[in-house]
Structure 1
Amino acid sequence: MGSSEPDPEVVELAHQMFDLAREGETDRLLAYVEAGVPVGLTDPSGNTLLMLAAYHGHADLVQRLADAGADVNQLNDQGQSPLAGAIFKGEDLVVSILVGAGADPDVGTPSARVAAAMFGRESLLS
């Protein structure tokens, strides 16, 4: 029988994946995804690789993760969407990519639409 504790090597690999997403290491991260790392991998706060890439403004990585099947509407544990995070951070190109990939501006709390209104950036969603 296996232990209920996660394998430290797997935990370390997951941490590396989140760091690659934050840093915008597109080719390296996508190589791991192609090798079997789940494109929907989440950190302990429910942030996906796509959420971290979007929040940190890595447009190319966001596009490639979406192309690889990442859910552009997956909310983190606080109910935040990647689209709302990109609006909050002022990442206009990421917003455009997410909208083009089918991101729903009305999911999450606050929704991307509400976030855009708070920051006077409604034109990003039209």
Structure 2
Amino acid sequence: MKLVAFVFAAWSGVIATAATSASIEADKVQKYLFETARAGDASLVVELIGAGARVDAQDESGYTALILAAYNGRTASVDVLLAAGADPNVGDKRGNTALMGAIFKGEEAIVLRLLREPRTAVDARNAAGQTAAMFAALFGKDAVIDALAARGADFSIADAAGQTAQKLAVQQGNEPLAVKIGELTRR
């Protein structure tokens, strides 16, 4: 088999090296994909997918490589994973998608990239019934609200606690955003 040398950066920032794709167990290749997506080495993400890592596999927390890349602001890795067929709508154990994670972390470039992906379900709901619009309202992401509106997001959806994006904006004291969401809800 072709020798595939690769390096990945773990949480601690320590660099580790593995020998060949043939000698690495499938679960280790998968783990390396998670770590590499988190670290943002897009070329290595490509090699790991070529070595058999599954793009939509989930770790023990339910995170996919796409969720990890989006949450950590790794735009190039997000692009590679989407091009490799990663499903942007897979949620973690709480149902949070890559889009929700990127909004939470304030990764606007990744949010916009995910919204350009036709497969991204803008009204996907997590286990609490929350949508990306609710995340954007909660964190005061005005530009994200505009981008979600452009993709046809439904701002009238209420979560399990009866909260809508507009109510969350009001609770956060963001009256201008609440007004904007109210107007979008009436459209």
Output the TM-score relative to the length of structure 1.
0.86
Q: Name the counterpart of 1:71.
A: 87
- Counterpart Cα distance in 2 of 1:108 and 1:48: 17
Cα–Cα, structure 1 residues 82 and 119, in superposed 2: closer, same or farther, change >3 Å?
same
The alignment status of 1:113 with 2:136, answered yes or no, reads no
Could you say what secondary structure the match of 1:63 adopts?
helix
Cα deviation per residue 1:65-111 (whole Å; 9 max; x = unaligned)? Answer: 11110001111111101101000000011001100013222112221
Tell me if structure 2 keeps the 8 A contact 1:51–1:82. Answer: yes
- Counterpart Cα distance in 1 of 2:48 and 2:33: 8
Pairing partner for 2:121 from 104, 109, 116:
104
Q: Name the counterpart of 1:57.
A: 73
Pairing partner for 1:123 from 133, 137, 143:
143
Tell me if structure 1 keeps the 8 A contact 2:29–2:52. Answer: no
Q: Which has the higher contact order (CA 8 A, sep 6+)?
A: 1
- Counterpart Cα distance in 2 of 1:113 and 1:46: 22
5+ residue gaps, structure 2, are 1-23, 150-187
- Counterpart Cα distance in 1 of 2:135 and 2:141: 8
Cα–Cα, structure 1 residues 9 and 40, in superposed 2: closer, same or farther, change >3 Å?
same
- Counterpart Cα distance in 1 of 2:143 and 2:121: 15
**Bigger Cα Rg:** 2
Deviation at 1:116, TM superposition (A): 0.4
5+ residue gaps, structure 1, are 1-7
Output the TM-score relative to the length of structure 2.
0.59
Amino acid at match of 2:80: R
Higher helix share: 1
Tell me if structure 1 keeps the 8 A contact 2:62–2:92. Answer: yes
